[in-house]
Structure 1
Amino acid sequence: MLTTRLDLDRIRAARRVIDPIFLDTPLYQCDALGRRLGCTVSIKLETANPVRSFKGRGTELVASLLTGQGRTAAVCASAGNLGQALGWSGHRRGLDVTVVASRRAPAAKLGRIRALGAALELVDGDFEQARERAASIAQQRRVRLIEDSRDIETCEGAATIGLELASADSSLDTVLIALGGGAMATGVGYVLKTLSPDVQVICVQPLGAPAMTRSWHERRVITTDSTDTIADGVAGRYPIPAVLNDLLQVADDAVLVREASIIEGMRMLLEHAGLVVEPSAALGIAAVLEDPDRFAGRHVVTVICGSNVDLDAYHRWVRR
C-alpha cells in the first residue's frame, strides 16, 4: 500500500476539471525509433496543446481551485513551462498571474509567458533565485504562491498522464520520465504503481543537474551549489522533502545522463519521429542510448514533456 500525498480518486476527478485540450494526448509506437534503439518505443506526446507541455494539466487544477476560493491573483517561479501554463489557465479564469523567471531562461519561453497573459519579472541567477523572489512577492502582495511539485494539484494533474498510460497498451513494461522538481515523476509513478504495478518507472535527469536523483539514491535531500545543463526545465538544486518522500515510493530507479546523449536524443526525435523538442523531453531517449542492454527487447514509453525551445539554440545542438 503506497503512502503518499497523492490520491487516486482525486486524480480521476481531475479529468473533469482539466480542459479536454490537455487530455488523452497521442500515445503511439514509433517503429523508426525502436529499430534505432533496439527496443519497442512508444511516445506519449504532451506537446500538442496551447502551452506545448504537460504543465497545463496541473495548472488547470490550480486555477480552478483558486477561483473556487474567490482568489484573484497568483504568483509562481518558473523555468518557463509552468509560467506559460499558469498564464494560460489563469487568464481563462480571470486570475492575475505573475511569473518570476531567470534572465537566463530561453527567450522563447519568456516571450510566450507574456503572450499567454502573465506578468513577467526577471531575476539574476537561476531558478532557485526566482523561487525566492516569487515567495517574497506572494508575501508582500498577499497572493497565492504556486510551487510546482510542492502543490499537490501540480502532481495530481500530471498524474492523469498515468491514468491514460495504465488504460492503454498492456504490453508496455517501462516508462521513462524526465525528473526535475518531481511533479510528473511522482504523479505518473503513483498511478502506475497503483494500477499497473509491474510497469517499471524510471526517472531520468541530466548529469549536470543531479540533485533529485542523488536524493533518491541517498534517501535524503541532497542539494547542489549549481547546475550545468541545457535541460533548463529540470535544472533544480533544492529538492522538496515531501516530493522526495513520494518519489521514493513510486520510482523503481533514477538515472543520470550526459549532455551529449540528450542532444543525440533530440536529434533522433527529429530524424525518426519528426518532433522538435526541448532538451528535457529527450531525457528518456538519452537513457536508452546510454544503457541499451538494459532496455533491449522491452516496450518502453517515453513521455515527451515539452517543446518550448529556442530555435537558434536548437539548431546549434542538433546540427551534426
Structure 2
Amino acid sequence: MRLTRLDTARIRAARQVIDPVFLDTPLYRCEALEADLGCAVSVKLETANPVRSFKARGTEVVASRLAEHGPRAVACASAGNLGQALAWSGRGRGLDVTVVASRFATVAKLDRIRALGARLELVDGDHESARERAAAVARHEGIRLVEDSLDIETCEGAATIGLELVDAEPSFDAVLIALGGGALATGVGHVVKDLAPGTEVICVQPLGAPAMTRSWHSRRVVTTDSTDTIADGVAGRYPIPAVLDDLLLVADDALLVEEASIVAGMRMLLHHAGLVVEPSAALGVAALLENRDRFAGRRVVTVICGSNVDMDAYHRWVGTPSL
C-alpha cells in the first residue's frame, strides 16, 4: 500500500492512551438482518460508550497529548458528536474545551456538550460556518484547534476500530463505513488495507451531502453549495485535500444513498437488531439495501458509528410512537 498520513505502529500505540471504555466494542453477526439484505451482515457497535459514538477514540488521543505537552485549552467545530467526545476527554484531563456548532444542530447533542462541561458557542449557518468560527476562536485565544479528519490523532484514534476488525474471525469480504469528513473512513481503511488488503473498503455518504464522494470519484476536491440530508454527522461541503489524498489510497469505492434508504436502514436496525441509531450510522445498511446484487452472499461488516439522535425526529422518521 502506498503511504497515507497514518502509521499502523502509531495506531497500535493509540490504544494505550484511549480509555478502555471505548475499546473492543461489540462485533457480532446480526442474522436477523440477513433475510432482507441477502448477505452475511455483522455490526461493529460504536454506541455503547459514554458519548455514544466512535469519536472519543480520536479525542482521547488528542487530549492525552495535550495533557502531556499543552496547551491546556482546545477548540473544535462539531455537528455534535466530536464536541461531546472532546468535552468528555478534556474534562477527564483538566482541559478547557470550547465547541462551536450550528444553532441548527441536533438539540440532544448540544445539550450533552453543555452537560459535559464544555463552553458551547452557536453560530448561524451550517457546519462549515462553525469550522470558520472555531478557527477564529483558536487564533484569537491562542489555543489548540482540533480539526476532525485533518488532525491525524482523530484518524488514528478511529483507526483502532480497524485493528479490532482485522483481528476478527472469520474475516470479512467488505467493510462499509460512513463517510463525512473522512476520519473514520481513512482510519479504518488504512488499517484494513495494511493488514487485510483483500477486504474491500467501501465508503457511504448521503446523496444530499455528496462532496467527499464526488471528490473521490473525480480524484480532486469537489465542493457543494449546500447539503440536504437527515444525516447531519456527515454533512460537510468542503473536503480537506490531505484527507482526500488518504481516502484515494484506502477506499475501493464510494457510494451515495437515498434518504429513503437511510430511514429504511434505521428502521431495520431498530426492528431487527434492537438498535436506535442516528442516520449516519445507518448508511452501511442503506448501501446494502440499494446494492443487493453486489453484496449477495458476501460477508460484510458495517460500523454503527453513533446513536446521538433527537428522539422526536427519530420517531417521525422511523414511525414509532413518541414516549
Query: Is the TM-score greater than 0.5?
Result: yes
Task: Provide, for residues 90-109 of structure 1, a one-character-per-residue CA deviation record: whole Å limited to 9, x for no partner.
Answer: 00000000000001101000
Could you list the per-position Cα deviations for residues 127-175 of structure 1 after superposition, in whole angstroms to 9, with x for gaps in the alignment? 0000000000000000000000000000000000000000002331110
Could you tell which deviates more after superposition, 66-75 or 121-130?
A: 66-75
Runs of at least 4 residues off by over 2 Å? none
Q: CA deviation at 1:54?
A: 0.1
Q: Which residue of 1 aligns with 2:130?
A: 130
Task: Answer yes or no: is 1:87 the counterpart of 2:82.
Answer: no
Q: Which residue of 1 aligns with 2:297?
A: 297
Percent identity, aligned pairs only, is 77
Q: Which residue of 2 aligns with 1:144?
A: 144
| Aligned pairs (5 A) from 1:17-28 | 17-28=17-28
Which residue in the other structure is 2:308 paired with?
308
1-structure distance, mates of 2:280, 2:184: 12
Where does residue 32 of structure 1 map in the other structure?
A: 32
Q: How does 1:164-313 map to 2 (within 5 A)?
A: 164-313=164-313
> Alignment partner of 2:134: what SS?
helix
Q: Distance in 2 between matches of 1:127 and 1:89?
A: 22
Distance in 2 separating the partners of 1:185 and 1:134: 23
Whole-Å separation in 2 of the counterparts to 1:70 and 1:144? 9
Report the Cα distance in structure 1 between the residues aligned to 2:257 and 2:25, rounded to whole angstroms. Answer: 26
Between the aligned partners of 2:72 and 2:51, the Cα distance in structure 1 is: 21
Structure 1 CA distance for aligned equivalents of residues 27 and 34 of structure 2 = 14
In the alignment, the residues of structure 2 paired with residue 204 and residue 164 of structure 1 have an alpha-carbon distance, to the nearest angstrom, of 20
Q: What code does the residue aligned with 2:40 have? A: T
Residue 153 of structure 1 corresponds to which residue in structure 2?
Answer: 153
**Is 1:63 equivalent to 2:63 in the alignment?**
yes
User: 2:94 is aligned with what amino acid?
Assistant: G
- Which amino acid letter does the alignment assign opposite residue 289 of structure 1? L
Task: Give the Cα separation in 2 of the matches to 1:65 and 1:171.
Answer: 33
SS at match of 1:256: strand
Deviation (angstroms), 1:180: 0.1
**Residue aligned with 2:108, SS:** helix
Aligned to 1:4: 4
| Distance apart, 1:2 and its partner CA | 2.2
Give the aligned partner of residue 109 of structure 2. 109
Q: Distance in 2 between matches of 1:63 and 1:2?
A: 29
Q: What is the Cα deviation at residue 68 of structure 1? A: 1.0
* TM-score in terms of structure 1 length: 0.99
Give the letter aligned to residue 231 of structure 2: A
Name the residue aligned to 2:46. 46
Query: Match of 2:220, as an amino acid?
Result: R
2:230 maps to amino acid: I
**Pairwise CA distance, 1:301:** 0.2
Distance 2:12 2:55 in 1: 17
* CA–CA separation in structure 2 for the residues paired with 1:70 and 1:103: 30
TM-score between both structures, scaled by the size of structure 2: 0.98
Over aligned residues, Cα RMSD in angstroms?
0.7
Corresponding letter in the other structure for 2:258:
R
Distance 1:169 1:253 in 2: 24
Q: Distance in 1 between matches of 2:310 and 2:33?
A: 24
